[in-house]
Amino acid sequence: MTAPDFQSWAAAGQQRIEAFLQRALPQPDIAPQRLHAAMRYAVLGAGKRVRPLLAYAAGELSQADPERVTVAGAAVELIHAYSLVHDDLPCMDDDVLRRGKPTCHVEFDEATALLVGDALQSLSFQLLGEYRLADDAKMQLDMIKLLAIAAGSRGMAGGQAIDLAAVGKTLSVPELEFMHIHKTGALIRAAAVLGGRCGNGLSEAEFAHVDTFAKAVGLAFQVVDDVLDAEAPTATLGKTAGKDAEQGKPTYVSAMGITQAKALAGELREQALKAIAPFGARGARLAQLADFIVLRQF
Amino acid sequence: MTAPDFQSWAAAGQQRIEAFLQRALPQPDIAPQRLHAAMRYAVLGAGKRVRPLLAYAAGELSQADPERVTVAGAAVELIHAYSLVHDDLPCMDDDVLRRGKPTCHVEFDEATALLVGDALQSLSFQLLGEYRLADDAKMQLDMIKLLAIAAGSRGMAGGQAIDLAAVGKTLSVPELEFMHIHKTGALIRAAAVLGGRCGNGLSEAEFAHVDTFAKAVGLAFQVVDDVLDAEAPTATLGKTAGKDAEQGKPTYVSAMGITQAKALAGELREQALKAIAPFGARGARLAQLADFIVLRQF
């Protein structure tokens, strides 16, 4: 039996995550109904589910039960979804369009959007406490700690704080990198490592390869985002284009120009592929994911 | 050796929690510095630490290691602290004074306050994954699930959503009770149960007594809050007095008048004490805490 092509594999993973999130999110007829409707609005039916796909690919390398990886991937996706809802709020990026739909606070209201983000974060950790993810419960506690650090002030939330402080400033490429390693990189790395930790098939040295891969892919993801924000029309992007420049946010495009930014994305893709070279053919899904992320629109 | 009087016992618990939170919160010289300074501002040096004290009292009943209970109590207190920061934001209660100091978004800014709350929630779950809290790691996973549910859309965050929807409406006393059982009750119950779960000295039937106690105390806490908001001057309260009435929020005072509200607080205190009667003298700390909460200012 040959492995399914990447598109079929990714579609199957996206469907599994969507189905699980559909069940894990409280139904909209459960009180408080409006909050639950808004949580579902913010999470379901959109998003490329890049983080869960990374978890699946690493989980396959580690011979993990896909049902366990689904829970881990969903937990990471809920953290990601909450961060988008809060990031779009007027006191942050003040954005009205996300994934081609009105942002949560526009569709509902600001207070509801605030609570949606708060409750999605709680739900993420609820899932990690509720489902069996690893044979060893102590390993599962380590996984919870890992996601909490990746989401917190020394990970994603910290990256957003650095981002805020950078508005209107000129950052060097290393400073930009520091910001993005926190803001988007931490959660992308957590997704890959958590997926792998659901199984027992990877050595610690192999986890280091996966982590190095995810770090490069996470940065590449952001460089590509900056290029797309500068180049793509709003309709293609599903969010407001040109927003970064308008808000005076430093980007890879503003720091190094669009040609060099594209070249950097290519270099980071090479770094990512090199990191997983030791896996040989077993690393094919991760390699395909790197291409999916880096080559997505140019 | 006689047990220390309640004031000494409470002061010792408050000091242990404060010292632990001092260490657990990232130092303000770690990047992102402003976020870390704001997190510390929001958590340290204030607050009665009612929830950790409940955890300690239940932990003593359960013969738990106080160091474990400190971690559990601190995790609950971080969730509580984050909820206050978000609750004070302009899109929620829009309050400028908390625990006698400017609220976090006034002292820093709105975006920072949003991230402070987000990162405090992450830190809470980080602690629960990081420290050993129970002999059985599976029990610890259950404790994480319990706190996540208490914090989430079917607990505290859900109660805040119900609260928002109630502004300008007249609620019946049962409706008020439903709101507060979520908004403040869920976390108070979680504090008591988590403290007890750090030890092995309580049967499931005894946990039910602790939970019934905490539920009554949680409601009493809110009734007393409503009375104080209507009666006490801002200086005594440490937060803006009369805010509920001004914002058209339904309270026990608006629903039943101040005399009946005080009587209800007394009844809930009786219910709480009755729930822990089976513990006899062993329940003394919980009984003292009930009085500390209910009789605090009238």
For A162, half-sphere exposure in the C-beta direction (CA atoms, 13 angstrom radius) is 25
Note the pLDDT of residue B298: 47
Note the pLDDT of residue B133: 97
Q: What mean pLDDT is predicted for residues A195-205?
A: 96
Band the pLDDT of B1: cuts 50, 70, 90.
low
pLDDT at residue B3 tops 70: yes
Q: What mean pLDDT is predicted for residues A116-126?
A: 98
Cβ atoms within 10 Å of B247's Cβ, excluding its own:
12
Note the pLDDT of residue A47: 85
B66 to chain A, closest Cα gap in Å: 21
Tokens for B262, please give them: 């005080």
Residue in chain A nearest B112 by alpha carbon = A161
pLDDT at residue B74 tops 50: yes
Of A34, A119, A144, the CB nearest to B125: A144
Residue to test with chain B: of A115, A128, A164, most B Cβ within 10 A: A115
A93 to chain B, closest Cα gap in Å: 9
Put simply, whether A130 touches B (Cβ < 8 Å) is yes
Note the pLDDT of residue B2: 66
pTM: 0.95
β-partners of residue A274 are none
Q: What mean pLDDT is predicted for residues B104-114?
A: 98
Instruction: Report CA torsion sign: B251, B155, B26, A188.
Output: negative
Q: Do A111 and B164 touch (CB under 8 A)?
A: yes
Map chain B to HEC letters: CCCCCHHHHHHHHHHHHHHHHHHHCCCCCCCCHHHHHHHHHHHCCCCCCHHHHHHHHHHHHCCCCHHHHHHHHHHHHHHHHHHHHHHCCCCCCCCCEECCEECHHHHCCHHHHHHHHHHHHHHHHHHHHHCCCCCCHHHHHHHHHHHHHHHCCCCHHHHHHHHHHHCCCCCCHHHHHHHHHHHHHHHHHHHHHHHHHCCCCCCHHHHHHHHHHHHHHHHHHHHHHHHHHHHCCHHHHCCCCCHHHHCCCCCHHHHHCHHHHHHHHHHHHHHHHHHCHHHHHHHHHHHHHHHHHHCCCC
Portion 36-95 of B in contact with A at CB < 8 A: 36, 39, 82-83, 86, 89, 91-92
Q: What mean pLDDT is predicted for residues A259-284?
A: 95
More confidently predicted of B69 and A234: B69
Q: What is the pLDDT of residues B111-160, one digit of tens each?
A: 999 999 999 999 999 999 999 999 999 999 999 999 999 999 999 999 99
Q: Report the distance separating Cα B34 and Cα B78, nearest Å.
A: 18
β-partners of residue A97 are A102
Of B39, B92, B109, the CB nearest to A153: B39
pLDDT at residue A237 tops 70: no
β-partners of residue B101 are B98
pLDDT at residue A169 tops 70: yes
pLDDT at residue B35 tops 80: yes
Tokens for A157, please give them: 């939330």
Query: Alpha carbon of A269 to those of A213, A286, B231, B235: distances in Å?
Result: 9, 11, 64, 59
B213 to chain A, closest Cα gap in Å: 25
Give which of B199, B195, B203 is closest to B289, Cα–Cα.
B195
A284-294 and A6-24 helices cross at what angle (nearest 10)? 80
β-partners of residue B98 are B101
| ipTM entry | 0.95
Residue in chain B nearest A82 by alpha carbon = B118
Contacts for A234 with CB less than 8 Å, ≥ 6 apart:
A97, A240, A241
Residue in chain B nearest A179 by alpha carbon = B32
Task: Give chain A's mean pLDDT.
Answer: 93
Note the pLDDT of residue B105: 98
Q: Report the distance separating Cα A133 and Cα B141, nearest Å.
A: 11
Chain A residues in contact with B161 (beta carbon < 8 A): 32, 34-35, 112, 115
pLDDT at residue A275 tops 70: yes
Chain B residues in contact with A183 (beta carbon < 8 A): none
Put simply, whether B121 touches A (Cβ < 8 Å) is yes
Percent of chain A with pLDDT over 70: 96
Tokens for B19, please give them: 């010292």
Q: Do B111 and A34 touch (CB under 8 A)?
A: no
Angle at CA A214, nearest 5°, toward A208 and A219? 130
pLDDT at residue B241 tops 70: no
Cβ atoms within 10 Å of B1's Cβ, excluding its own:
3
Size of interface A-B (CB pairs under 8 A): 169
Put simply, whether A174 touches B (Cβ < 8 Å) is no
Q: Do B31 and A162 touch (CB under 8 A)?
A: yes
Q: What is the pLDDT of residues B167-223, one digit of tens each?
A: 888 888 888 999 999 999 999 999 999 999 999 999 999 999 999 999 999 999 999
Q: Do B32 and A153 touch (CB under 8 A)?
A: yes
Q: Do A157 and B112 touch (CB under 8 A)?
A: no
B117 to chain A, closest Cα gap in Å: 8
A101-102 and A97-98 strand pairing: antiparallel
More confidently predicted of B240 and B38: B38
Cβ atoms within 10 Å of B206's Cβ, excluding its own:
18
Q: What mean pLDDT is predicted for residues A285-291?
A: 95
Note the pLDDT of residue B167: 86
Q: Report the distance separating Cα A54 and Cα A58, nearest Å.
A: 6
Put simply, whether B135 touches A (Cβ < 8 Å) is no
Angle at CA B51, nearest 5°, toward B50 and B56? 95
- Cβ(A275)–Cβ(A209) below 8 Å: yes
- Cβ(A120)–Cβ(A82) below 8 Å: yes
Give which of A31, A275, A66, A278 is closest to B153, Cα–Cα.
A31
Query: Alpha carbon of A290 to those of A185, A265, A269, B102: distances in Å?
Result: 14, 11, 6, 47
Residue-range domains of chain B with CATH: 6-294 (1.10.600.10)
Q: Report the distance separating Cα B84 and Cα B99, nearest Å.
A: 10
Put simply, whether B169 touches A (Cβ < 8 Å) is no
Note the pLDDT of residue B242: 72
Out of A219-228, B22-31, B123-132, least confident range: A219-228
Q: Do A122 and B152 touch (CB under 8 A)?
A: yes
Q: What mean pLDDT is predicted for residues A161-176?
A: 89
Give chain B's length: 298
- Cβ(B120)–Cβ(B53) below 8 Å: no
Residue to test with chain B: of A82, A94, A118, most B Cβ within 10 A: A118
Note the pLDDT of residue A289: 94
Q: What mean pLDDT is predicted for residues B22-46?
A: 96
- Cβ(A184)–Cβ(A222) below 8 Å: yes
Band the pLDDT of B237: cuts 50, 70, 90.
low
More confidently predicted of A294 and A136: A136
More confidently predicted of A296 and A108: A108
Note the pLDDT of residue A2: 66
